[in-house]
Amino acid sequence: MPVYIAAQGLFEGLGTIPYIWTILKTLPWLFLVYLLKRYLGGATNSSERLMHSKVVMMTGGTSGIGAAIARGLAERGAQLVLLTQHPLTDPFLADYVMDLRTQTNNELITAEHVDLNSLHSIRLFATKWVDNAPPRRLDMIILCANTLTPRGGRATTTEDGLESNWGLNYMANFHLLSILSPALRAQPPDRDVRIIFGTCSSYMGGILPDLSKDDKASGKSKPKSSRQSPHSTALAFTPASAYATSKLALMTFASAFQKHLNSYSRPDKQPMNARVLVVDPGWTRTPGMRRYLTFGSLWGLAIYLVSWPLWWLVLKSPEEGAQSFLYAAMEARFGRGAGGWFIKECREVRLARSEIEDENVQKSLWEATENTIEALEKEGAAARAREKKAKEGQETNVIKSKDGTEKASEVSSTKPMVDGNIGSKKPGSRRSKKGG
C-alpha cells in the first residue's frame, strides 16, 4: 500500500492522493510534539552493572517510580526486599510480588511489613534485621517512599503525631538508617554498598527551622505540640512548603549520614565502602503527583483526565523517572570515592542550597531529630503499656459477691476448662463444694 501511494503521487501528482495536504501540514506538528516529549522525558540510563546476588532493600517499591526501579533491578537479577505498609497477607501485595517475579523471571523478590508512619514499626523491622550473626548481606538501600499533601489540603499526622510530610519523607528515613547503620558498616570491604535517597527539586524552596537555640541548649526535645511540624515554626502550613522543607531536611541528613559513615573506623582498617547518593527524578506522573494536581478531589480528577494529554507531554512516565535511580545504582564510578553525590538527569549536579553541607546545620538537625524520636518512642511505649494493662485488666476483672466469694465477670480464654466449660463450676463437683 505505501509503495502504491508513493507511485501514484510520483506519476499522477500529489493532488491525486486523498487528504495529502492535510497530512503534510500535520506532520511537522507531530514531529515537534515528538521532539518535545523526548526532551521532557529526560535522560536515559546508559550504565549497566551485574546485579545478580546483590541484596537491595527498597521503600516505596510497589507504585510509581519505585515500582519501575524495582522492575528494572529485578530484570537484572537483583534480590529485592520490598518494605511496604501493606500486611504480608494482603492479596494486592501477594499478587504484586508474584507478578513481578513472573515478569522479570526473578524469584528472589520478597516483602517485609514496615509502616513508615510508625516509628515503632520501623524499629521492630530494623532491629530484627540488625540482630543477626553474621551480619546479613546488604548491597543497597533505595528510599523512594514519599507523601505529598494535595493542594488546599489540611495537615495530617502520622501515628506518632508528626506532620505527615515531615514524618514520612524525613523522620522515617532518619530512623530507619540510624538503626541500620551497623549493618551497613559491617559489610565486607570489597562490597560496593550504596544508599540512594529520592528527593525533588522543590527542596530549593524549603525552610529549615532554627533548631540550635532550644534543643541544643537544653539537650531535650520540644513539647509534642511543637514537634508535630518543625516547619510550622517558620511559616504557616501549606502543602508545597511542608513538602519542600521535608525534602531539604532529608538532603541535609543524607549529607550528614555520609560523614557519619566516613568517620567510622573499620576493625580491618579498610576504607569505608558505603556511599550516599541523592537522586532527583524530575517531575513524574506518580500517584502522589496525580493526587497533588487533582487537589485530592473527584472534580480535580475529572479535570485531570480531560487535560491528560498535557500532563502526558510535560511529565515523565514512572519508567523515565526511574532512569536516574538506575544510573545511581549501576554507574561504576559511584563505587569509588567519598560519596555524597547529587544526581539529576543521569549526571552529577551541584546542590542549590549551601546549608545542606553546613556541618552546624547538620549537627543541629541530627540532634533535634534524635531527641524528638527518643521522646516519641517513650510516649509510644508508655501508651502501648497502658493499653496492654487496660486490656489485661478488662480480661481479669473480678467482682465480689455479697457472700464474699469472687466471680469472674470477664474471664480470659486461658482459664482451665472444667467439664467442657471454660472456668465453669458444675453443681455437685468438688470445686463447687469447695467454693461454697
Residue ranges of domains in the chain, CATH in brackets: 2-40 (no CATH), 55-378 (3.40.50.720), 398-436 (no CATH)
For 220, list phi and psi in degrees, rounded to 5: -125, 160
Q: What is the DSSP string of 64-92?
A: HHHHHHHHHHHHTT-EEEEEESS-TT-HH
Q: Which residue has the higher pLDDT, 150 or 233?
A: 150
pLDDT exceeds 90 at position 228: no
pLDDT exceeds 80 at position 230: no
Q: In the predicted model, what is the mean pLDDT of residues 116-123?
A: 95
Per residue in 257-280, is it b (16+ CB within 10 Å) or e — as a string?
A: bbbbbeeeeeeeeeebbbbbbbbb
pLDDT exceeds 80 at position 103: yes
Q: Which three cell numbers stand for residue 240?
A: 508545597
CA distance 135 to 432: 58
What is the pLDDT at residue 390? 86
What is the pLDDT at residue 391? 84
CA distance 168 to 161: 11
pLDDT band at 220 (very low <50, low <70, confident <90, very high): very low
SS3 110: strand
Q: In the predicted model, what is the mean pLDDT of residues 13-31?
A: 79
Is 407 in the active site? no
pLDDT exceeds 90 at position 21: no
CA distance 409 to 185: 55
Element (H, E) at 141: strand 140-143
How many CB atoms neighbour CB 365 within 10 A?
25
What is the pLDDT at residue 12? 67
Percent of the chain with pLDDT over 90: 61
User: Which is catalytic among the residues 54, 128, 213, 247?
Assistant: 247
What is the pLDDT at residue 62? 93
CA distance 375 to 86: 27
Sheet of 109-113: strand order equals 109-113, 79-84, 55-59, 140-143, 193-198, 274-280, 341-344, 347-348
What is the pLDDT at residue 45? 93
Kind of pairing between the strands at 347-348 and 341-344: antiparallel
Q: Kindly report the pTM of this predicted structure.
A: 0.82
The answer to whether 228 and 242 are in contact (CB under 8 A) is: no
pLDDT digits (tens, 9 = 90+) for 345-356: 999 999 999 999
pLDDT exceeds 80 at position 234: no
Lowest mean pLDDT among 179-193, 238-252, 272-286, 389-403: 389-403
The answer to whether 315 and 285 are in contact (CB under 8 A) is: yes
Element (H, E) at 226: helix 224-227
CA distance 146 to 404: 60
Residues contacting 400, CB < 8 A, separation 6+: 406
Q: In the predicted model, what is the mean pLDDT of residues 170-190?
A: 95
